Amino acid sequence: MAEHMKKGQNNDDMQESNRSLILRIMARDPICTRTQIAEETGLQQATITKIMQELLSVGVVTETGIVEGKKGRRSIGLKLNSESIKVIGVKISKDMIQVGLFDFCGKLYEKYTESTLNYNSVNRIVRHIKRAVNQILANHSDVFAMGIAVPGPFYKAENRILLMADRPGWTEVDFEAEAKRLQKELAAADVSDIEAIVRPCGLGKSKARDISACMNMLVDSYDCQVPDSLDELLKLPGVGRKSANLIMGDIYGKPAIVTDTHCIRLVNRMGLVDGIKDPKKVEMELWKLVPPDESNDFCHRLVDHGRSVCTARTKPHCDACCLSDICKKII
């Protein structure tokens, strides 16, 4: 069990490192391609495809259309949504706390700085951090994530700082517990406030109500933890089979088949299923064909293939397709 957990943690760390590497390249270049990223990083195409699909699904990256690559080869251009998605950064030092709002390229939009020299209570400092974070959330609806820089080695297994000179109280702070408390505060938000946040994404009152109900269920029934079973995920308001399978595969690394529009279109065109359009029925048929340990990568590859080769809005590029000899080309 311990070895399995260590391996899982190592895989998570590697995935995070690879994701950061890709994002740094995309922050540097206005438009890049998967091939360029592979050449610069040395990462496998399957690794890049999986990470890119994750970034595309949450809106961090968008596709810009066909671009000309080396030797006239055409590729899908990729662009980082650096200005439309923002992150909160928290820096804790010996005598000061700083909370700021940045975009993905480091541009600063809002900043709070406060001296903590006269504070003898770590809990008081934590309250000030949460107050600054809540103020930023009240002013901006496009916050994507939050990161915290701490002045000492961080013990990930226990979610706390291992050592901090002259500030022993910090070693007792459970950052996961503090994050849960903040999550509970967000779960208590009015539906109208949530609607204002999701409206720029084209979502309205119905989705805002689902988000509110989902957050409250996570707080009340799951101790602020997203469940790792399909049946439990499907109990969450607003979560269907597509989202549940995506969480199962990408977050928890469990077997999952995500039957989105690319998947349904391609498996019908290739003849893996026979004229089936219902997502659940397609999923059940694919389970008969796809090995469980390959299911998650299989779906990501379908999406990538559907976007770059077997396209929907233009004529599929069958001459460049690696599956041309076995595809039934059913229209």
- Helix or strand or coil: residue 330? coil
CA distance 50 to 47: 5
CA distance 156 to 162: 9
| Radius of gyration, alpha carbons of the chain | 22
> Could you tell me if 97 and 114 are in contact, meaning their C-beta atoms sit under 8 angstroms apart?
yes
> Could you tell me if 252 and 270 are in contact, meaning their C-beta atoms sit under 8 angstroms apart?
no
SS3 letters across 160-191: EECCCCCCHHHHHCCHHHHHHHHHHHHHCCCH
**Is 260 noted as a catalytic residue in this protein?**
yes
CA distance 133 to 129: 6
Amino acid occupying residue 30: P
> Could you tell me if 285 and 276 are in contact, meaning their C-beta atoms sit under 8 angstroms apart?
yes
**Is 242 noted as a catalytic residue in this protein?**
yes
For residue 117, give both structure tokens.
Answer: 């020299």
Listing DSSP states for 46-85 in one string gives: HHHHHHHHHHHHTTSEEEEEEEE-GGG-EEEEEEE-TTTS
Smallest CA-to-CA distance from 12 within 254, 225, 252 is with 252
Q: Which of 235, 242, 254, 297 is catalytic?
A: 242
Smallest CA-to-CA distance from 259 within 317, 310, 300 is with 300
Q: Which of 260, 274, 278, 280 is catalytic?
A: 260
Residues in the chain: 331
Residue numbers annotated as active site: 242, 260
